[in-house]
Structure 1
Amino acid sequence: MRGLCGWIGMAMLAWAGQAMAQPDAVHASRVTPQSSRPVAHILDKSDVDAWLDGYMPYALQRGDAAGAVVVVVKDGKILTKRGFGYADVATRRPVDPDMTLFRQASISKLITWTAVMQMVERGKIDLDRDVNAYLDFKIPDRFGKPVTMRNLMTHRGGFEEVQRGLNSYDIKDVPPLDIALKRQIPMRIFPPGTTPAYSNYGTTLAAYIVQRVSGEPFDAYAQRHIFTPAGMVRSSLSQRLPIDLQSLVANGYGRGSGKPTRLELNSFWPAGGMSASGVDMGRFMIAHLDHGGVLLRPETARQMHDTILKAIPPLNGMALGFYEQNINGRRALSHAGDTLTFHSQLWLLPDDNVGIYMSMNAAGTDKVSGPIRNYLFDAFADRYFPFDQKDGRVDAATAKAHARMMVGTYNKTRRLENSFLKAMELSSQIKVGLDAQGGLLVKAAPGLAGQPRTWIEIAPFVWRDSMSKTRLAAQVENGKVVRFGLDSSSPYLLFEPAPWYLSSAWLTPALLVSLVTLFLTALSWPIVALVRRRYGVQPMLTIAQWRAYRSTRGFAGLAIALLVCWLWFSSVLLGDFSSMNGELDWALIALQVATPLVLTGLFGAALWNAGLTWRRGGGRFAKGWSLVLIVNAAILLWIAIGFHLIGFSVNF
């Protein structure tokens, strides 16, 4: 995140400069001369507005972000509602917190989970019953346990990630809810209830169950039983927005200085397809802070908010739909949502009857939207709910020993496990190593400017970043780390050790070496042929040796071409939503057919060539190179098998 510390620092200077003009708003938290304990600011509109004016405009400008909306609620009322920047940069249409609609992405899940709890309090859904009891199709048995609604609400259904048909730009690619769910049932890769693995499919499945037990289409149900009672007059889950709302949607941008992108549509829209104004999101927060308000009975709201399942204590856990983001000694419930261009999050402080929501319509420079919203909440909490954090400390020798136990390569629990997209793990597995002092070095969690964090062990296998509130903790069994998590994501995602045979720590460099070797092998054929022609030298090879020689060189060239085609296919597929709806199935099928033919051919040719070279007394270099070709061919074949480049399905 190039320059991020710079603009954060400049934002703080701008904030401080405004504070000089307004003596009541000087810092995130003040310190009295008599005490080192920070003192809270008064949480009122004038102070919040002054604080936001000192941070948001400069943050958007420095991050090249288009616009944002921030809403703060307190004691059942909207304390402040602020729009910053532009909903449409070209026409200079400003963000209006009342009128401008932002795509909410995964915050949409809170609508689904609220609907589920409404059905629970009406006795139509049992949280601990097999979900197959409510469906007109079957979630296949696995691990000997059924999937329950409680599993779905806590992202512990065990489903792998799915991408096919998830997003598009064309409404014709958004099927009815039942078809979207039935066309591809993802594999369950974890026993239900055991492992948090964020699932859009699981949330959409829950919405479909509400649709079935309520007898209403889910978008109509949400409109009637959630949006209307809560006063959310400019909100919709429909992917074809009502005519009166279409002109109110903010444009989405990669960068504010760039061109707007097309509106992203979602086939799993109950998990990520809501459009809503900032004020409407404020009203939704008010309802939940008011013990369910007009949406839920108080006992139902308590059940939803207070049933916390922790994967790795003491990290944040998962409530029923919300996830914890506890801060400064206070309980906080949250949910975030991200599309390519819209980035949103809301936070509830139930014990203080306070909520804050923000959304941006651009990713910004180096995806700066994430740091902007994270800093917003941290600074808000420090300003109005300051806390004197006192951590323990593990002795230096023990800390170094624990850090060494953490070293390894890890996979996210939310992952694509059984399709060719698993190959992305070769570049996305998480490396944990040691820094120069023997402490943790975790590349999955860089600091604000992309620099490595300094982790201090504050309790056995619990670390805190020295420059922020972020904690990391590991679960250890029989002297081995079995998984670890970060406070920000531990409710719905963990990191588990990758098996050694699929670890990118050795497979990625081995793949690169193999590619170089095969390239040189293929290139040597025309080069050697030209040299021989130039000097009139005839090869001293038998017919069999000559055929083996040509076969290895030919298959080496085909293997290089095959991998180039896989890279092209993946870049096109992941670079355009519209290509994920079956348009490239022909290419996927062709690659799945070609991959085993080419790679087994390469391996067989390499064995044949090596056998002839060694039996007929080739030179040392020829013998050595023949063995290298066998090893490289085996590595490519193993990668193709282990990461499902060889398969017979177009699902992913």
Structure 2
Amino acid sequence: MRFVRKLMIGLAALAAVPLMAQGPAVAPPAKKVAAPAPPAVKTAAAPVALDRADLEAWLDGYLPYALERARIPGAVVVVVKDGQVVLEKGYGFADVAKRAPVLPETTLFRPGSVSKLFTWTAVMQQVEAGKLDLDKDVNAYLDFKIPPYQGKPITLRNIMTHTAGFQESVRYLISSDPKAVMTLKKQMPLALPDRVFAPGTTPAYSNYATALAGYIVERVSGEDFDSYIEKHIFTPLGMAHSSFRQPLPAALVPHMSKGYPNVTQKAEPFEIVIPAPAGSLSASGADMGKFMIAHLNDGAGLLKPETTAMMHNYKAPGVGPLNSMALGFYEQWVNGHRAIAHGGDTVWFHSYLWLVPDADIGVYISMNSPGQAGDAGAVRSALFHKFADRYLPGTEKPGTVDAKTAAAHAQLMVGHYVSSRGSFTNFFSLFGLLGQAQIGLTEDGKISLPALDGLGAGARDWVEVAPFVWRDTGTGERLAAEVKDGRVTRWSLDAGSPFMVFEPAPAGTNAAWLNPALVFALGIVLLAALAWPVRALVRRSFKADFALEGKARRAYRLSRLFAWLVLGALAGWIGLIMAFSADIGSIGGPLDWLIHLLRILTPLATIGLLITAVWHLGQSIKGKRRWTMKLGAVLLVLAALPLVWVTLAFHLYGFNMVY
């Protein structure tokens, strides 16, 4: 369930006011491109000199303990500055059973979505070549059609800023089965998800959209995607230990790190990332260092300086002062420095890459396990912030909001919210109900986000520093909300604001009432189902007759039969969630039979329960039965209502297999 929770809340929302597309900020060719102004005034303190000796000592003091504490077997870290590698170092094991160490020059890790930076670089190469236009309808480059949404097409600029409007797509995502690999030509029309937001309005992360960009590169270049990346990125940079190919080329297989649930468990199979341009890269730390140096050096070997500036300096609209998307990279402001970055997570590998152009610094970390309780996220977050505090320090001068206003604003934020990165038109929307983000209040009246606390290294302390802008005193990360007519319309926080926003959960699907209603409903259904055979046994023991006859008896028995069918459907959904949580690939084909069965059984069971429960209630009233039987019948009708509502509202029916 941890992976599902992160997938759905992130680790899902509409903007209150549509955001207009913003043109690229193109800097002239120069040694270093200019960055946008920082969001807050910073006063730099004297940094520690970033040299190999100090950096290695600092990392050696932090990372081994952090990995051991998190039960992560191994990691690789690379830091570059001024066009040179400051340090590239492996920690722990690439293969625990063989006690094989992580070798930064040759050991391959899976950077996950950091792979997208290579896809975006390829797109910009084709823009530079005049074969692609960032603001043209992408249908001009495709051999199938993506329907318009609200009359508007999508563009590559939408795709590169995660504002194409696609809902989450999970079916063709990750698998442990090598047979899951398919060509982009086959996958793109097959896996096309619904669009749920108007293009350019709402950040909503999309692996499908990135794979679509890779397919477009494939079509306009005339080269298959894997070959294109090898020829136009790997070879120019000398990245000899990198590949997007799946399974890996034979020569690289001996260098591949194993992936683990944690250090105490056995290694897992090589993951197949089905939308390959979105995350299939395998690369050594040293090779990732070469990629960082190229981008920091105005794209040297990959792009012209003006194209690199266009890519790095673009700033998409976002939520208030929070981080937003560049073209493909996303902002991560820290201590007054604008980093452009990308994170990446497969099931077993967890990575992050940061570039700080104004300091000519790049940092990359990849780990071969999520660790205990998903602690890899906290490890990399702490690495970034502590690194910045040591080598890129700044003195924060946050503003203040008076206590009365702060308390009122915090109270206004309380509630349940859905993430724009989610599913909305298929049965996977059920996971959104299970993972709704909730904002509450601490004892001293500050906002609290328990579900997101695990993504940071320490406890969060959100202090309002400007109207509807909060700052975490530990990391400096901000949370901001947009408010209209005294109501919160959407909010986000720095770590996710470039690609994900949250809006208030609609009344009809708000977990605040719906989850308790479901608990009540399922409790009543369980009691009704169990009481049926128990009462039969009691009557048999005492040789008593059943008081109901004719239609009344049929109504009673059918209502209990459908109660058991509801419990059967519930067991099926729980089984599906458990299977998906254990192996995300299982939902991409092996469990199709169960998905089809559940989407037939669930509406049959819930609607059948409601009809028969109402019939049973009518017969109880007509037959003037005891008040206890009437009460039981009423409760069963009340239990059936939220079950039917969830079935319909969360699309637990139908036969569409795109989800």
Question: Which TM bucket (shorter chain)?
Answer: over 0.9
* Partner of residue 416, structure 2: 409
Distance 1:419-1:575 versus aligned 2 partners, 3 A rule: farther
* Partner of residue 390, structure 1: 397
Task: Count residues in correspondence.
Answer: 617
Matched, 1:129 2:136: yes
* Partner of residue 550, structure 1: 557
In the TM superposition, residue 93 of structure 1 has moved relative to its aligned partner by 1.1
* Partner of residue 466, structure 1: 473
Alignment of 1:104-503 (within 5 A): 104-446=111-453, 453-503=460-510
Q: Secondary structure at the match of 1:482?
A: strand
Query: 2:110·2:283 contact (CA, 8 Å) conserved in 1?
Result: yes
Alignment of 1:545-624 (within 5 A): 545-624=552-631
* Partner of residue 6, structure 1: none
Q: Secondary structure at the match of 1:244?
A: coil
In the TM superposition, residue 450 of structure 1 has moved relative to its aligned partner by 8.9
- CA distance in structure 2 between the partners assigned to 1:427 and 1:597 by the alignment: 22
| Residue type at the aligned position of 1:125 | L
- CA distance in structure 2 between the partners assigned to 1:168 and 1:602 by the alignment: 37
- The counterpart of 1:87, out of the listed 94, 116, 121, is 94
Q: Secondary structure at the match of 2:471?
A: strand
* Partner of residue 656, structure 2: 649
In the TM superposition, residue 551 of structure 1 has moved relative to its aligned partner by 1.5
- CA distance in structure 2 between the partners assigned to 1:228 and 1:632 by the alignment: 63
In the TM superposition, residue 448 of structure 1 has moved relative to its aligned partner by 7.4
Q: Secondary structure at the match of 2:90?
A: strand
Once the two structures are overlaid, the 10-residue window that deviates more, 310-319 or 541-550, is 541-550
Deviation string, structure 1 residues 536-592 (Cα, Å, up to 9, x no partner):
332333422111111112211221112112211332244224423322222222222
Query: 1:443·1:452 contact (CA, 8 Å) conserved in 2?
Result: no
Deviation string, structure 1 residues 189-211 (Cα, Å, up to 9, x no partner):
00000001110000000011111
Distance 1:37-1:287 versus aligned 2 partners, 3 A rule: closer
Query: 1:83·1:95 contact (CA, 8 Å) conserved in 2?
Result: yes
Once the two structures are overlaid, the 10-residue window that deviates more, 50-59 or 281-290, is 50-59
Deviation string, structure 1 residues 588-625 (Cα, Å, up to 9, x no partner):
22222222222221111111011111122222222222
In the TM superposition, residue 439 of structure 1 has moved relative to its aligned partner by 2.2
Deviation string, structure 1 residues 475-534 (Cα, Å, up to 9, x no partner):
112221111101011001111111110111111111111111011111111222222222
Q: Secondary structure at the match of 1:325?
A: strand
In the TM superposition, residue 38 of structure 1 has moved relative to its aligned partner by 4.1
Deviation string, structure 1 residues 131-185 (Cα, Å, up to 9, x no partner):
0000000011111111000000000000011111221122221111111111121
Distance 1:267-1:129 versus aligned 2 partners, 3 A rule: same
Query: 2:461·2:473 contact (CA, 8 Å) conserved in 1?
Result: yes
Distance 1:448-1:207 versus aligned 2 partners, 3 A rule: closer
Q: Secondary structure at the match of 2:579?
A: helix
In the TM superposition, residue 240 of structure 1 has moved relative to its aligned partner by 2.4
In the TM superposition, residue 452 of structure 1 has moved relative to its aligned partner by 6.1
Distance 1:485-1:265 versus aligned 2 partners, 3 A rule: same
Matched, 1:631 2:638: yes
| Residue type at the aligned position of 1:499 | P
Distance 1:491-1:275 versus aligned 2 partners, 3 A rule: same
- CA distance in structure 1 between the partners assigned to 2:457 and 2:618 by the alignment: 51
Distance 1:536-1:241 versus aligned 2 partners, 3 A rule: closer
* Partner of residue 9, structure 1: none
- CA distance in structure 2 between the partners assigned to 1:570 and 1:349 by the alignment: 40
* Partner of residue 12, structure 2: none
Give percent identity, aligned residues only: 49
Once the two structures are overlaid, the 10-residue window that deviates more, 578-587 or 407-416, is 578-587
| Residue type at the aligned position of 2:298 | H
**Unmatched 5+ stretches in structure 1:** 1-35
Q: Secondary structure at the match of 2:527?
A: helix
* Partner of residue 58, structure 1: 65
Once the two structures are overlaid, the 10-residue window that deviates more, 638-647 or 186-195, is 638-647
Query: 1:310·1:316 contact (CA, 8 Å) conserved in 2?
Result: no
Q: Secondary structure at the match of 2:500?
A: coil
| Residue type at the aligned position of 1:197 | A
- CA distance in structure 1 between the partners assigned to 2:487 and 2:337 by the alignment: 32
* Partner of residue 38, structure 2: none
| Structure with bigger RCO (C-alpha 8 Å, 6+ apart) | 2
* Partner of residue 67, structure 1: 74
- CA distance in structure 2 between the partners assigned to 1:79 and 1:451 by the alignment: 28
- CA distance in structure 2 between the partners assigned to 1:634 and 1:627 by the alignment: 11
Normalised to the residue count of structure 1, the TM-score between the two structures is 0.92
* Partner of residue 28, structure 1: none
| Residue type at the aligned position of 1:41 | V
- CA distance in structure 2 between the partners assigned to 1:550 and 1:225 by the alignment: 69
Once the two structures are overlaid, the 10-residue window that deviates more, 68-77 or 584-593, is 584-593
Deviation string, structure 1 residues 314-346 (Cα, Å, up to 9, x no partner):
110100000001100011111111111111111
**Unmatched 5+ stretches in structure 2:** 1-42
Distance 1:37-1:284 versus aligned 2 partners, 3 A rule: closer
Query: 1:447·1:453 contact (CA, 8 Å) conserved in 2?
Result: no
Deviation string, structure 1 residues 271-291 (Cα, Å, up to 9, x no partner):
000011101100000000011
* Partner of residue 523, structure 1: 530
- CA distance in structure 1 between the partners assigned to 2:211 and 2:218 by the alignment: 10
- The counterpart of 2:47, out of the listed 11, 29, 40, is 40
- CA distance in structure 2 between the partners assigned to 1:392 and 1:353 by the alignment: 29
In the TM superposition, residue 400 of structure 1 has moved relative to its aligned partner by 1.3
* Partner of residue 540, structure 2: 533
- CA distance in structure 2 between the partners assigned to 1:298 and 1:56 by the alignment: 35
| Residue type at the aligned position of 1:549 | Y
Deviation string, structure 1 residues 54-107 (Cα, Å, up to 9, x no partner):
111121222211111111111111111111111111111111110101111101
In the TM superposition, residue 421 of structure 1 has moved relative to its aligned partner by 1.7
Q: Secondary structure at the match of 2:76?
A: strand
| Residue type at the aligned position of 1:348 | L
Q: Secondary structure at the match of 2:396?
A: coil
- CA distance in structure 2 between the partners assigned to 1:435 and 1:344 by the alignment: 32
Query: 1:154·1:320 contact (CA, 8 Å) conserved in 2?
Result: yes
Coordinate RMSD, CA, aligned: 1.6
| Residue type at the aligned position of 1:270 | P
- CA distance in structure 1 between the partners assigned to 2:436 and 2:228 by the alignment: 40
In the TM superposition, residue 447 of structure 1 has moved relative to its aligned partner by 5.9
Once the two structures are overlaid, the 10-residue window that deviates more, 536-545 or 126-135, is 536-545
